[in-house]
Amino acid sequence: MSNRSLIDELTQALQCLPSVGPKSAQRMVYHLLDKNRNGALKLSDVLARAVTEIGHCQQCRTFTEEDLCSICSNQKRNDNGAICIVEMPVDVVAIEQTALFSGTYFVLMGHLSPLDGVGPEQLGLNLLEQQMQKGNINEVILATNPTVEGEATAYYIAEMARKYEIQVSRIAHGVPVGGELEFVDSTTLSHSFTGRSFL
């Protein structure tokens, strides 16, 4: 193979991307070299800038290159008084796409997991508590993932909110729209029963 060094180096480096193995990395290398060198240069530049410039929002901890993210720096959304707790920045994107929520977010960047040494401090819950103390939050919406750790984290934050007499709610879990009952696991189904709404 021509040029073991650099082509192999790139094939190796590309495997830092999720779900990219040696084969697809090789395909990418030859595709870029053959068809899209400008795209590769642009990617290289944006990658470097993103990694160095993007930090965490001082209020909600999501990814941003400024001190405050576009949502936290929006006064209208702060006045709304509702704060939605999610695990990852990508969850913010998902909820924003529904265009249903007009409050602010708090991104835990993970969930409580004592075995991995992830406690309240790692999730920045002290920062969240400070915001609760300020008293301009009137509802905490828990949108952590419906996993054991996610539920535990939600429970912990719910307790914290009650201390400050803030209303707490958990997003509904149930049969996904368009899903068919026969294919829904029993846990989800039981959730959708206990969480049924009366018409």
- Give the nearest distance from C-beta 40 to its own copies in angstroms: 5
Of 88-96, 125-133, 159-167, 175-183: span binding its own copies (CB under 8 A): 88-96
Over 55-119, what HEC string results?
EECCCCCCEECCCCCCCCCCHHHHHCCEEEEECCHHHHHHHHHHCCCCCEEEECCCCCEHHHCEC
Which one of 21, 22, 58, 66 is in contact with its own copies (CB under 8 A)?
66
Amino acid residing at 58: Q
Q: Is 80 in the site for its own copies (CB under 8 A)?
A: no
CA 189-101-141 angle, 5° bins: 60
Of the candidate spans 84-92, 113-121, 122-130, 170-178, the one that interacts with its own copies by CB under 8 A turns out to be: 84-92
In this structure, the strands spanning 139-142 and 104-107 are unpaired
Binds its own copies (CB under 8 A): choice among 21, 46, 119, 187: 46
Distance of CA 32 to CAs 37, 112, 135, Å?
5, 41, 53
Q: Count the residues of the shown chain that bind its own copies, applying the rule CB under 8 A.
A: 60
162 binds its own copies (CB under 8 A): no
* 118 binding its own copies? (CB under 8 A): no
Nearest to 80 by CA among 158, 136, 125, 127: 136
Tokens 């920062």 -> residue: 127
Q: Which of residues 26-45 bind its own copies (CB under 8 A)?
A: 26-34, 36-37, 39-45
User: Exactly one of 74, 78, 80, 109 binds its own copies (CB under 8 A); which one?
Assistant: 109
CA distance 92 to 96: 6
Return the DSSP state at 182: G
| Piece of 9-17, 126-134, 162-170, 184-192 that binds its own copies (CB under 8 A) | 9-17
In the bound state with its own copies, the residue whose beta carbon lies nearer, of 112 and 161, is 112
- The residues that touch its own copies, with contacts defined as CB under 8 A, are 1-7, 9-10, 13-14, 16-19, 24, 26-34, 36-37, 39-54, 57, 60, 62-66, 69-71, 88-90, 92-93, 96, 109
